[in-house]
Amino acid sequence: MIKLLASLCSLTGLSVVLVSAQDVTHLEKIGPVISIEKSSTTVTFNCGDKSQVRLTILAPDLIRVRASFTKPIPTRDHSWAIARDDWSTPRWSLSEAAESITILTDELEVVVRRSPFMIEFRDARTHDLINADEQPMAYDAKGTLADRMFDPKAGMFVAATKKIGFDEHFYGLGEKAARLDKRRDSFVNWNSDTPGYTLGKDPIYQTIPFYLGLQHTVAYGIFFDNSYRSYFDFGHSSQQRAWFGAEGGEMNYYFFYGPSIKKILGRYADLTGHMPMPPLWALGNQQSRWSYYPDTMVEEVVREYRNRDLPLDVLHLDIDYMQGYRVFTFDTKRFPDPKALTEKLGREGVKLITIVDPGVKYQPPVPNAVQLTSGMPELQPQDQRYYVYEEGIKKNYFQHRMNAELFIPRVWPGEAVFVDYTLPDARRWWGDLHRAYMDNGIAGIWNDMNEPSDFVDQTGKNQFDVVSFDEGEKSTHAKNRNVFALLMARATYEGLERLRPNQRPYVITRAAYAGIQRYSTMWTGDTNSTWDSLALNIPMFTTLGLSGEPFVGSDVGGFMGRGNGELLTRAYQVSFLAPFCRNHKVIDSYDQEPWRFGKYYEDIIRKYLKLRYQLLPFLYTTLEEAHRTGVPLFRPVLLNYQDDPNTYNLDDEFMIGNDLLVAPVLKPDVTRRLVYLPRGSWYDYWTNKKYEGGTMVSSDAPLETVPMFVRAGSIIPMGPQMNYVGEKPSDPITFAIYPDEKGSASTTLYEDDGLSPAYKEGAFRRTTIAVKQVAGGYNATLSAPEGRYNPGPRKLSFVIISEQATRKVVTVADDGSPRKIEIK
């Protein structure tokens, strides 16, 4: 019998009971291996209890484990998360012994014990154990789980149990309101609307069932690709084991071997998709409020930004821009001419983004309703008939319950309906509806409430019998709730791609499932304007980065409750380097734009926003690395120093790329803090004073200053100050050179047009810059640029940073040719 423990959790003011299986050791175990079958890419194990397990060798460091309990593995094999199935089979061999079967690749040795059926992953070269089953894979044969989904197709609870290392650390699992190292914690994945969440609240909005284990500097990854409500336990219920399981579906996981985390993140991106490059302006400063209206208020906010010389690229329109919360419409009184507005703001360098929720107002047409004229429906009154609802009904794209009733949740418009995004035609229709925004000059789309939130019941129980097409399986929200947001974001992204093929889509989402990075960036939902909530920013952003979601950010200053100038300033000192930097605030709280608490705070915030824009060449280069390699921009220190155990729990500092280390102040009234600097030498960004790493240093941190250190040996490419992307050409590019002990430093600079998808076809430029100390100064070598993008004529400036007040500076004209520059 499985022991069940009900844990109380409150969602949006409601108390609900989530069942968490605390002891999986009592589940039915898979039977011993009776026979095996081999194909060119797989080994299938037939078990005594008629279960089947298939190991697929995808790459030398990537093995898929798929199990079907008491029956053969079904032929149907579908996942919304997986982006790639065309792996070229690596070299591998199979050997059989009396007690075990071994699969050997160039990197992994997978030993399968026949009885009991247990899997071990070892390093192919050293034979050292990386990860091993603690018990055979298991299933809830008796169906004793109390909180069963009302879905006959859900099947059984399935689980895998792993030995936990005495010194093993755990990272990842996407968006969790938790510390960086997840050891001794346990988690549930069930996308939930959780406004005002605090540390420990679980689950929250997203499901990324991917984690990393790290022991003795060696890392592995496990992606449990199962979208049912799932559970992860990293030594919480027992110090001997970690386990993961789900309330239905298949035991289906991918095992990644590093040993480096960076390598695993690359493979994970290969498997679930690489983040495409967003437009460069997405790295610009963004401002939001629930809600700015009417249009004159929007203009006033922008005017205020410009008058105050504060940088701004994007303004967000929250739900009140619509007619009675009807998606794909504009309130004709508040926003009579959205196109004129976007054009006007465009002249100020500001782009508009609109929120689009999944809830389509439930609105059968009133009898004898007036027909819409043939013009743009989004600008016509929709109170008699609502074109989105009517089209969706006609095409049968909305979700129904098992008894064929239309599913009618309650969200902002009151009664509403949701689209079945598993239907390819419905996704296409939804994507095409975004014409209403694109035709009016809207630059990007903000997907919210897509857990999907339902005011009737936030636990999701009201959705258990909601059916989706699901590639013909006709499964319920027991399986599909966690992928709803992924598919909505996909419909949105693909729609934007079709509507504006020459521009990169920009989508922001709240909920997600693994693979979301292919379609959307994200923010961490409804945080609080508190110091504790600010402190959570760092482990949440870094954890998301370790889970394949590089483009992250949080409402700067916090969303709920009243903030103050000090909190807002410290919040900008974290977010000015986060990929998504957007100040946003709940409807009924005090205003929070950068100037709201007075000039003293505003001046400091301006300094950081201006610095963000100067750092754009550096940030964009690092973002492109995330796109290409899966290694995020906003990193925990451990990602760069995996061999340094002092970094394994460090979550009040972060790094941008390999070179910049930032240690913000996360408490009130603090003007000095300790900063851990890893090995090597570091320059204080503000004073250029040099420190030796491998130790804690005490750093000055008055409100004006966020402690920031540059790695000796790096070069930070910077551009001119700007108030929006494209305000001026990036001329000159300044290379701030921080030489190491040997007088060397190097970097690469990535550039492209910042807007079009041409980078995918080689329209980019990557330049490598290497600096060496020589007699009397330094020599900088510029490589021949890679790629065929030409940024045009401009100047390059080389600045040698040193502790001494004097700086060596040389400026040359850039003609894109490889060359040597003397810096004397």
Query: How far is 743 from 27, CA to CA, in rounded Å?
Result: 61
List the one residue from 28, 147, 290, 415 that touches ligand GLC (CB under 6 A): 290
Instruction: Tell me the two tokens of residue 72.
Output: 């053969």
Nearer to ligand GLC, 198 or 240 (CB): 198
What is the smallest separation between the CB atom of 585 and ligand GLC, expressed in angstroms?
8
CB of 516 to ligand GLC, least distance (A): 16
Tokens 């079958």, residue? 37
Contact 663, 670 (CB under 8 A): no
- Pattern 188-207, binding to ligand GLC, x per CB under 6 A? -------x------------
Q: Is 448 a catalytic residue?
A: yes
The minimum distance between CB 14 and ligand GLC, in angstroms, equals 16
Q: Which of 451, 470, 624, 751 is catalytic?
A: 451
The pair of three-digit structure tokens given for residue 372, joined into one six-digit string: 């819409």
Kindly state the DSSP code that residue 419 receives in the 8-state scheme: B
**Can residue 175 be called a binding residue for ligand GLC (CB under 6 A)?**
no
Give the C-alpha separation, 673 to 85, whole Å. 48
Cis peptide before 195 (omega within 30 of 0): no
Size of the site for ligand GLC (CB under 6 A): 10
Which residue do the tokens 């400091």 mark?
604
Name 307's Cβ contacts closer than 8 Å, sequence gap at least 6.
none
- Burial per residue of 188-221, b for 16 or more beta-carbon CB atoms within 10 angstroms, e otherwise: bbbbbbbbbbeeebbbbbbbbbbbbbbbeebbbb
User: Annotated catalytic, 549?
Assistant: no
Q: Does 448 bind ligand GLC (CB under 6 A)?
A: yes
The least CB distance from residue 358 to ligand GLC, in Å, is 12
Among 355, 419, 491, 769, binds ligand GLC (CB under 6 A): 355
| 319 makes contact with ligand GLC (CB under 6 A) | yes
Continuous H helices in 439-564: 477-499, 531-545
Cβ atoms of 409 and 310 within 8 Å: the answer is: no
Contact 801, 782 (CB under 8 A): no
Task: Please report, as residue ranges, which positions from 532 to 591 form the binding site for ligand GLC (by CB under 6 A).
Answer: 584
Nearest to 403 by CA among 325, 347, 464: 464
Least distance in angstroms from the C-beta of 397 to ligand GLC: 23
User: Which residue of the set 225, 313, 465, 526 is catalytic?
Assistant: 526
Which CB, 317 or 725, lies closer to ligand GLC? 317
Report the candidate in 700, 702, 710 with the shortest Cα–Cα distance to residue 740.
710
Task: Name residues contacting ligand GLC, limited to 80-99 (CB under 6 A).
Answer: none
> Residues near 457 by Cβ (< 8 Å), separated by ≥ 6?
14, 463
Q: Please, which residue, 19 or 319, has the CB nearer to ligand GLC?
A: 319
Does 454 bind ligand GLC (CB under 6 A)? Our answer is no
User: Judged by CB under 6 A, which of 245, 273, 431, 525 binds ligand GLC?
Assistant: 525
> Exactly one of 470, 526, 549, 651 binds ligand GLC (CB under 6 A); which one?
526
End-to-end, the C-alpha distance of the chain in Å comes to: 77
Min separation Cβ 137 and ligand GLC, Å: 38
Neighbours of 96 (CB within 10 A): 12
DSSP helix/strand/coil, 168: coil
Catalytic residue among 61, 448, 653, 814: 448
- Work out how close the CB of 294 gets to ligand GLC at its nearest, in angstroms, rounded to a whole number: 17
Integer Cα distance of 403 and 395 in angstroms: 19
Nearer to ligand GLC, 318 or 651 (CB): 318
Q: What is the sign of the dihedral through the CA atoms of 202, 205, 211 and 217?
A: negative
Select the residue interacting with ligand GLC from 66, 334, 351, 510 (CB under 6 A). Answer: 510
Strand stretches in 89-147, DSSP E:
92-96, 100-105, 108-113, 118-123, 129-139
Closest residue by Cα to residue 524 from 48, 255, 194: 194
**Of 355 and 800, which CB lies nearer to ligand GLC in the complex structure?**
355
Distance of closest approach, residue 320 Cβ to ligand GLC, in angstroms: 8
The reply to whether 181 sits near ligand GLC by the rule CB under 6 A is: no
**Residue 309 has what DSSP assignment?**
T
CB of 193 to ligand GLC, least distance (A): 8
Cβ-closest residue to ligand GLC?
290
Which of 181, 448 has the CB closer to ligand GLC?
A: 448
Considering the complex, what minimum distance in angstroms separates the CB of residue 69 from ligand GLC?
39
Contact with ligand GLC (CB under 6 A): which of 61, 181, 247, 318?
318
Site string for ligand GLC, 683-722 (x = CB under 6 A): ----------------------------------------
526 versus 814: smaller Cβ distance to ligand GLC: 526
What minimum distance in Å lies between the beta carbon of 312 and ligand GLC? 18
Which burial class, exposed, middle or buried, applies to 687 when counting CB atoms under 10 A from its CB (0-12, 13-18, 19+)? Answer: exposed
State which residue, 319 or 353, has the beta carbon closest to ligand GLC. Answer: 319
| Residues 485, 512: Cα–Cα separation, whole Å | 5
Q: Which is nearer to ligand GLC, 5 or 587 (CB)?
A: 587
**In 197-312, which ranges are E strands?**
206-207, 210-215, 218-224, 230-234, 241-246, 251-257, 286-287
Q: Three-class SS string for 552-616?
A: CEEEECCCECCCCHHHHHHHHHHHCCCCEEEECCCCCCCCCCCCCCCHHHHHHHHHHHHHHHHCH
> Is 526 part of the annotated catalytic residue set?
yes
Nearer to ligand GLC, 558 or 630 (CB): 558
| Min CB(335)–ligand GLC separation in Å | 16
C-alpha distances (whole Å) from 622 to each of 148, 220, 575 are: 45, 24, 16
Taking the C-alpha atoms of residue 556 and residue 569, their distance in angstroms, rounded to an integer, is 9
Report the residue number, 318 or 378, with the smaller CB distance to ligand GLC.
318
> What is the rounded distance in angstroms from the CA atom of residue 183 to the CA atom of residue 72?
35
- Between 109 and 526, name the residue whose CB sits nearer to ligand GLC: 526
Q: What token pair was written down for 369?
A: 């309703």
Q: Catalogue the active-site residues.
A: 448, 451, 526
**Contact positions vs ligand GLC (CB under 6 A):** 195, 290, 318-319, 355, 448, 510, 525-526, 584
